[in-house]
A and B are shown apart, each in its own frame.
Chain A
Amino acid sequence: ISEIGRSAKSYCEHTARTQPTLSDIVVTLVEMGFNVETLPAYAKRSQRMVITAPPVTNQPVTPKALTAGQNKPHPSHIPGHFPEFPDPHTYIKTPTYREPVSDYQVLREKAASQRRDVERALTRFMAKTGETQSLFKDDVSTFPLIAARPFTVPYLTALLPSELEMQQMEETDSSEQDDQTDTENLPLHMSTDDSGPEKENASVLQQNTSLSGSRNGEENVIDNPYLRPVKKPKIRRKK
């Protein structure tokens, strides 16, 4: 039977058609040596098999749950022949958490109370783990004050900005890069005592040049007695 089909297709294509016609099949059968005339008689024979039509089953309905939302119609710039959009659920992000709060007031509120909670927890912890003072004799836990502890160098903590503030500083004015002038001032280490004599002499020389330099109004070399190198006891140069 497949040979019949194949040949029939060949004949039909031979005659530049896509669909085989009856004559194509007849030609095929003839070619294969069948007698076409006997065919109607064969079909009407008594013991022939009847092939019943397959039972019509209902088309399986796609479950509702999967069709999330309507398929979007094509927007105008997409030609109509393009395929339909897939179901929305395949490409739309579905929120799986609660709506984010974008309200300014609530945000501030949250930030404030969060910070406060952190601070309170932290200070309570510190108070619990260290010495405390209390305002009430009978109760030490409700308002625990971390005990005051003297510093060895009290002005440092009081004057220097804390690291947090430094960070903030950098964040707020990152544009203003410090054009530090340390290069001029840092080389002076009062404790660099053991610099070799040749080095010393070199710097003395340098200092001398800087002396004359600054006289000429040269800006970048500073002549300041405190920046001059310390002299050796033996080589007392009178300036």
Chain B
Amino acid sequence: MNRKKGDKGFESPRPYKLTHQVVCINNINFQRKSVVGYVELTIFPTVANLNRIKLNSKQCRIYRVRVNDLEAAFIYNDPTLEVCHHESKQRNLNYFSNAYAAAVSAVDPDAGNGELCIKVPSELWKHVDELKVLKVHINFSLDQPKGGLHFVVPNMEGSMAERGAHVFSCGYQNSTRFWFPCVDSYSELCTWKLEYTVDAAMVAVSNGDLVETVYTHDMRKKTFHYMLTIPTAASNISLAIGPFEILVDPYMHEVTHFCLPQLLPLLKHTTSYLHEVFEFYEEILTCRYPYSCFKTVFVDEAYVEVAAYASMSIFSTNLLHSAMIIDETPLTRRCLAQALAQQFFGCFISRMSWSDEWVLKGISGYIYGLWMKKTFGVNEYRHWIKQELDQIVAYELKTGGVLLHPIFGGGKEKDNPASHLHFSIKHPHTLSWEYYTMFQCKAHLVMRLIENRISMEFMLQVFNKLLSLASTASSQKFQSHMWSQMLVSTSGFLKSISNVSGKDIQPLIKQWVDQSGVVKFYGSFAFNRKRNVLELEIKQDYTSPGTQKYVGPLKVTVQELDGSFNHTLQIEENSLKHDIPCHSKSRRNKKKKIPLMNGEEVDMDLSAMDADSPLLWIRIDPDMSVLRKVEFEQSDFMWQYQLRYERDVVAQEEAILALEKFPTPASRLALTDILEQEQCFYRVRMLACFCLAKIANSMVSTWTGPPAMKSLFTRMFCCKTCPNIVKTNNFMNFQSYFLQKTMPVAMALLRDVHNLCPKEVLMFILDLIKYNDNRKNKFSDNYYRAELIDALANSVTPAVSVNNEVRTLDNLNPDVRLILEEITRFLNMEKLLPSYRHTITVSCLKAIRVLQKNGHVPSDPALFKSYAEYGHFIDVRIAALEAVVDYTKVDRSYEELQWLLTMVQNDPVPYIRHKILDMLTKNPPFTKNMESPLCNEALVDQLWKLMNSGTSHDWRLRCGAVDLYFTLFGLSRPSCLPLPELGLVLNLKEKKAVLNPTIIPESVANNQEPVNSTNNHGQSVGFQNTFSNSQEEEEIDMDTVHDSQAFIYHHLNMLERPSTPGKEQSSGEMNMHPVSAAPMSVFSKESNSSKHSDHHHHHHHEHKKKKKKHKHKHKHKHKHDNKEKEKDPFAFSNSPASARSICSPSLSD
């Protein structure tokens, strides 16, 4: 189970190799939301005695399996359906996470496992021994899928096509198993033939080339035939069916865009840019786009904004925009560019194993960054890098680290490299979504570090090498065994780096890839005048969680009077102090221009600086070549110089943040100057607005003149003749547009001595709203108006409450009345003239929540709940839900929490379900150390159920539920649960020692329902009875037993589960074994019936009887088994599902 180590190439974990797969979906019913079809896999056995084939399949109802036209028995067992089986009282997240990781392992295709196990008919064994080809034909159907395939069926009159009903595949990482049986691994490549029969008014878009479209005989349907000749992993297969409008890209005819009816004009505008992205990538990679065609599909209720699959991408329809929209344009373009980058790395080149994922995410993120740099400029790029760096640093410091390349030695959970986390990072499916986002972020930052090390030229050469190897391989026939060249591994990637560049980047990899954590620097300095030396002290914090020690070079840039100088310091174990010689004597009398880093020479007013020192400012690691956080101390005038004269936007932003601590007139002046400077990067200016507001608030008693920014705004955006009226909108200049949007928002944060927003400012904003005139503007002003409402919300301060009186209209503050009037009008106008993406409604809802929270308006979630209903635009729903989440927290409302959790379970839109959990996690109603009336046993049970079995159809959702559980209750047993009886621990220990011989084999063999082997009860006795009876002998009460059972089970899990797959690999050997062949006997052709029972718990006594009978049989076998081969049965027996299918009524007789 250990990942193959590098150079030898790829070794499949499976005893066979898949070469070709046919997926045929003959019927799609939108009304019933069902799908019927079959798959056919062509496989070559690689070992002689292959008699079981494990495939991945979830949700699918499998009717029939044939191998080479012979009926084959199969078993379907999905341990992830319900992670922890017995109704144990153990509500401990540690326990759950381990069990979940084990469950995912048990079906992990990368370990050769799968939910579906097919027995090769004995007639074929000889055939297999000759390693001849097998064709596995599986008929399946899907009914109302809850994950993997998403149906959007608007509830209105008309045919499905008229309604715009559509369906598309979705999911997180390898989720293809949700909609057809396959080897759902990124490392199992094969060629594909895909056929979809759909309504004649619909289009089916899928991977590869559309070979032909043929009508069915009744002419009411047509079949789309796709061929994908480039070997592709099942996880990269996708599908979208709907009455799409079709647009062939006018620049590249092999690119086709699809959107929902009526949106064609938007589609035209949105995709008109795509060809430039294509050109860019093809140019830098010096490689043609690998697939012969590319399709973009824009769908409603998308799972994620961008999902990349082989030769097609599925986008959210909400990315479409018209030419009038400014703000969405760059965002959408970024999404397009991201999707395209992943076509090269992620779809065409796939990964060998999960631990190599970082390479793909890193490369695609990195080339996407290059595109950003080219498209939006260096400033935007550096700003983005800084932003990503800040994010990853904050996340790692919060959670304790993100590990890019986890290595699992021995597979024991003990040496789990991420023990600080509440989830396992061994599988993509156990990861918290936030962790995964941060993982991607870190991956591309590390790629950038590698680029810093080996130069961009070499970097691109490496990419080109990977791509050209892959494209050579892709054109080969399967027999040449070349396809593994299309998989990238960490070691392979590092090897080609060292081949191409000849440089050793091992230390870098060790630091950032094999190890988690970021670096935290604290810097301060003193200037030694006598020696003319800068004494720099750099400390590190490497003891807090999420940090690591950094040893190596560190660049420091010192701006002196004579120019800017780079110094490379060697950070070592013990040296804190670094002496840096200064080049210039302090001489302030000579008037001379001061050279900057970029060669520019500027005049500066040096009166502010220290007369004795030639230092203007100092920067540590200016190129962000370490993943770090720097806290550096320098005096305020140095920050001011840095802000004014340093040309790097990152430095400017750092200076602005630092200046918040220096509320002086000089800071004010520096910020105002930056604000006014047209050449300055607009994001810096926007940031300066907020800093200026903060400074003004700190200086409130000494502030002179009009409120900050007011006169500036007036000068820039108001009429010359009447300064109180804003000019009619003209957003042709985007920089000033963004500034115009931001300034009022920042101004509204101003407070006077009473900590109220000055009346003047409020009136000013109201006037802006009043005089806003967009008639002559080429662009929509919806974002601008939305931000004006945000500004109104920002101006709200807590109401002066007189002994908690009820909020009514009569005691409404007059200012608030004005604000409310605007909000009411805006919100109502939205109903008549809706704005793009309903930005105004979103802002209004947020503002209303602010008013409620500040006690001006009675706190009431009803309004938000109505906006959160299904059928509103997604942005509106999320804004409303956010307000409800906030209400739940502030008012500690059990009812609302229940309402939210119900929505998590039932909402039709997967993104909303995910987002609610996400928002609850970020803004929790309570946390583990908090007393709250909400924290009770019922809630624990409910959440437990949600993550245990309620979210099995969506990895992301389940991990979201785990995150929430962790935030609310922590890792250990929730505090609100009644304490387990005293003596439990003791008992446990004793029991562990004493009961081991009897219980362990049982829980191993049959952990679904512990039965005491010696205790033969009446057949109709329920299992609980059985249990207590057996335990009475040892005088232990039920609770304890449950707990100890769980405990032991859990330990066994930890010890044995991970090693099972390894054993399973040698399934050939197993089959020789007479005992392990036993489960085969129960393989059924009629698993239809067993399938049904999958979804029901057995409540009938009859069932139990049968089960019991059966169990005995089994137990003996298993015991037997255990003696000889202890761990074997685990893969089968660790879930009731398996037991059920084994014990299905038809079989037990």
Contacts and interface: CB of A to CB of B under 8 A. Distances in A.
A155 B318 contact: yes
Interface residues of B, number: 90
A233 B200 CA distance: 13
B569 interface: no
Contacts, number: 209
Contacts of A136: 807-809, 857-858
A105 B725 CA distance: 7
Contact of A154 (B243, B828, B862, B873): B873
B828 A159 contact: no
A173 interface: yes
Interface in A121-176: 122-123, 126-127, 133, 135-139, 142-162, 164-165, 168-169, 172-173
Interface stretch (B336-344, B548-556, B671-679, B863-871): B863-871
A191 B155 CA distance: 22
A214 interface: yes
Contacts of A173: 778
A230 interface: yes
B721 A122 contact: no
Interface in B316-358: 317-318, 320-324
Contacts of B222: 230
Given A150-B870, A151-B871, A138 B773 contact: no
Contacts of A181: 250
Given A112-B773, A190-B243, A151 B872 contact: yes
Given A108-B771, A157-B834, A161-B324, A135 B246 contact: no
B871 A150 contact: yes
Contact of A148 (B262, B721, B872): B872
Interface in A175-225: 181, 184-185, 188, 190-191, 193-194, 214, 222-225
B443 to A, nearest CB: 32
A172 B778 contact: yes
Interface in B182-230: 200-203, 209-217, 219-220, 222
A74 interface: no
Nearest to B776: A172
Contacts of B211: 225, 239
B873 A226 contact: no
A82 interface: no
Contacts of A26: none
Chain B CB within 10 Å — which of A120, A144, A226 has the most? Answer: A226
A181 B154 CA distance: 30
Interface stretch (B48-56, B253-261, B1047-1055, B1127-1135): B253-261
Contacts of B266: 159-160
A31 interface: no
Contacts of A155: 260, 300, 317-318, 873
Contacts of A146: 827-828, 831
Given A116-B825, A133-B862, A230-B222, A159 B837 contact: yes
A147 B780 CA distance: 25
A232 B214 contact: yes
Interface residues of A, number: 70
B154 A162 contact: no
Contact of A190 (B200, B318, B721, B872): B200
Given A119-B825, A123-B832, A135-B848, A154 B872 contact: yes
A233 B221 CA distance: 11
Interface in B848-888: 848, 851, 857-858, 860, 862-863, 866-867, 869-875
Contacts of A116: 770, 825
B713 interface: no
A17 interface: no
B836 interface: yes
Given A133-B862, A226-B210, A190 B263 contact: no
A104 interface: yes
B161 interface: yes
Given A148-B863, A222-B248, 19 more contacts: A108-B771, A108-B773, A111-B773, A126-B832, A133-B862, A135-B848, A136-B807, A136-B808, A142-B809, A145-B827, A146-B828, A155-B260, A168-B777, A185-B248, A190-B243, A225-B293, A231-B215, A232-B214, A239-B212
Give the 10 A-B residue pairs with the shortest CB-CB distance, closest first. A150-B871, A123-B828, A225-B210, A105-B722, A158-B873, A152-B156, A154-B873, A143-B824, A224-B248, A139-B809
Interface of B: 154-156, 161, 163-164, 200-203, 209-217, 219-220, 222, 243, 246-248, 250, 253-254, 256, 260, 262-264, 266, 293, 300, 317-318, 320-324, 719, 721-722, 725, 770-771, 773-778, 780, 807-809, 820-821, 824-825, 827-829, 831-834, 836-838, 848, 851, 857-858, 860, 862-863, 866-867, 869-875
8 contacts: A120-B825, A136-B809, A144-B828, A151-B873, A153-B163, A158-B836, A224-B254, A232-B214
